[in-house]
Structure 1
């Protein structure tokens, strides 16, 4: 079973019902400050933390005095626009006293479906984490429609965990784990401590959402677990409404852990290696040696680009003799790659006509 204290990169999903009181619509400031203390303590031991936080629509609903019923799309988007500002400010105010800097990242389903946007999102998140920032991620409800939305933040949290290569995902819920039946309705229901495989029998036990504020239920949590564990990320469902919920989980609070036998880094490399290349880049001997040492591919080490490919497409990496070194996801199109071949970083803007990224293929987007 995974232990929270062992996490190197942690994603925590926080639902609307934890942040906003269902009855009054008031913000739960005491709870927010307690989890902020948890986050600061976890970061202090060297763990990267990413928060996937709901709450913008619930907060905006209260500010705009909208009724507690299903809202038309345009009212939901307006509530999100108003609430998102408040949500970001509350997180910033809660974490700043602990010396933690926050950043806001708003996404839609298209940001994961489109490989170019996916890589841009990944690069931004990696840069934020490199600066020690805690990204606050939420779906961009002000523009998302049913066709381009995740629909619930359990699914979003799992995708974020995959995107950033997290090794643990915590879903803070209104229940303390996954049960064989709804414990509120069936007194014989038992909680699973650990689930190593999500079988059809496990799936049949899942129910739907029970909160008026949240959209997720056990079905969406199981889907999240499938996504996360397939990418090497363990996932836990635990009671989130208590003060200091992450500390409680560390000290033995009830939870269900979904385990993964894979390492997230290895799982990503396997995914990249399985892709069919759209083209190839040929590198010189110096770049080939650098790649073998785990470095990123810089344009200065590229001698030519073969074929036609777009940003985010998989390409083969070939040495000067045509031997395949591996595959990678390129951050430039084939036309752009040809313009910057052999150039140093300070020459790229002149060649492209606009500022570009320093690397052609980042080491995290490469499988050798």
Structure 2
């Protein structure tokens, strides 16, 4: 049952994502208490100034690897799930101990992909986070790595944190990492320059491959996360975490970083939830003419519009709408299951009510549930596997 929607706190909200390499010592795989002390000291300043802070902290898997006798290089999927179970208490205990010094109460919020992709669970999780903030408790959000499999996991804490920022209507989103931000090339190369402001992340995606040995995300996932947050009306920063005041200096403009300003006129919460997906449930292709009409707004997708379809989905899943050039143009909620839609498209000349056994207009995606993608919104590649993150 969906709870009554909790009101957003009146204070400003900041979501902070912390990478594994900042939290866990690379050699010993133990908590880096010095860094955590600096972080919590800075969070205290923000809270005292009236800003709510939500942490999305990596590190549970890294901290638990030694317990299960593995290393970042040797660990398989089941090893990492077991390591997450061992490392999560160590991670939370480190935050709890240091938080106690500053009078900060913490709460753990474990999420899976479904908590973001199913709207009722999305709202229920949002209500829980808001209630914690109302009580003065700092939520620490993680993916539930112990139980998630490849098919049902977010896969990286960068995008998870961005979805939390969207969920919480955050004003700012800071990703703390080992580099100052986004560079125009590998930062180890001579002449590499920091890109201080990025309005559109798309041109930089191809040059951001690679990830750390401790984490599951590299700069590519950070750009994807920044785009999700931008579309939610949230300004994002990617910054080096190894400074005295890693958060306040970024927000005050005193720290080198890459800034991703929020896009103008953010859409409604409903539209943001539909448009910002972590997983493809299904896809349909329509003609270029239909796609152009959808882009103009207030136009549903009808059964006769569909040229092809792919994926197994249920009623209420989000479908990705492509044109004939295989460019993604919109996303929207399906009114039919994939089985029903196949019946409707194969038998296009027969009455929809006769085929399905119930009254329907034959609208696959209603206009109110269909969101055209703006030019700066990252689109899915046509070759992305259905069900992938």
TM-score of the pair, normalised by structure 1: 0.68
**Are the equivalent residues in 1 in contact too, given 2:31–2:94 (CA < 8 A)?**
no
Judged with a 3 Å threshold, the aligned counterparts in structure 2 of structure 1 residues 270 and 141 are, in CA distance, closer, same or farther, namely closer
In structure 2, the residue matched to 1:173 is: 177
**What secondary structure, in the 3-state scheme, does the structure 2 residue paired with 1:41 have?**
helix
In structure 2, the residue matched to 1:366 is: none
In structure 2, the residue matched to 1:260 is: 262
Structure-to-structure mapping, 1:18-37, within 5 angstroms: 18-37=22-41
**Are the equivalent residues in 2 in contact too, given 1:13–1:172 (CA < 8 A)?**
yes
How far is the alpha carbon of 1:130 from its aligned partner? Answer: 0.9
Distance (whole Å) between structure 1 residues aligned to residue 190 and residue 268 of structure 2: 40
In structure 2, the residue matched to 1:195 is: 198
How far is the alpha carbon of 1:148 from its aligned partner? Answer: 0.8
Judged with a 3 Å threshold, the aligned counterparts in structure 2 of structure 1 residues 171 and 75 are, in CA distance, closer, same or farther, namely same
**What secondary structure, in the 3-state scheme, does the structure 1 residue paired with 2:237 have?**
strand
- What 5-or-longer segments of structure 1 have no aligned partner? 1-6, 275-311, 314-368
Tell me which protein shows more helix as a share of its residues: 1
Distance (whole Å) between structure 2 residues aligned to residue 244 and residue 41 of structure 1: 10
In structure 2, the residue matched to 1:137 is: 141
In structure 2, the residue matched to 1:206 is: 208
**Is the aligned partner of 1:119 residue 2:123?**
yes
How far is the alpha carbon of 1:110 from its aligned partner? Answer: 1.1
**Are the equivalent residues in 2 in contact too, given 1:232–1:267 (CA < 8 A)?**
no
Distance (whole Å) between structure 2 residues aligned to residue 86 and residue 272 of structure 1: 33
Q: CA RMSD in A?
A: 2.2
In structure 1, the residue matched to 2:52 is: 48
How far is the alpha carbon of 1:207 from its aligned partner? Answer: 2.4
How far is the alpha carbon of 1:238 from its aligned partner? Answer: 0.3
How far is the alpha carbon of 1:187 from its aligned partner? Answer: 1.1
How far is the alpha carbon of 1:270 from its aligned partner? Answer: 5.5
How far is the alpha carbon of 1:48 from its aligned partner? Answer: 0.8
Structure-to-structure mapping, 1:56-95, within 5 angstroms: 56-95=60-99
Number of residue-to-residue matches in the alignment = 266
Judged with a 3 Å threshold, the aligned counterparts in structure 2 of structure 1 residues 255 and 272 are, in CA distance, closer, same or farther, namely closer
1:179-205, Cα deviation, whole Å (9 max, x unpaired)? 110111x21221111112224x22233
**Is the aligned partner of 1:223 residue 2:224?**
yes
How far is the alpha carbon of 1:170 from its aligned partner? Answer: 0.3
**Is the aligned partner of 1:156 residue 2:160?**
yes
TM-score of the pair, normalised by structure 2: 0.65
- What 5-or-longer segments of structure 2 have no aligned partner? 1-10, 276-315, 318-389
How far is the alpha carbon of 1:263 from its aligned partner? Answer: 6.0
How far is the alpha carbon of 1:273 from its aligned partner? Answer: 11
**Are the equivalent residues in 2 in contact too, given 1:167–1:263 (CA < 8 A)?**
no
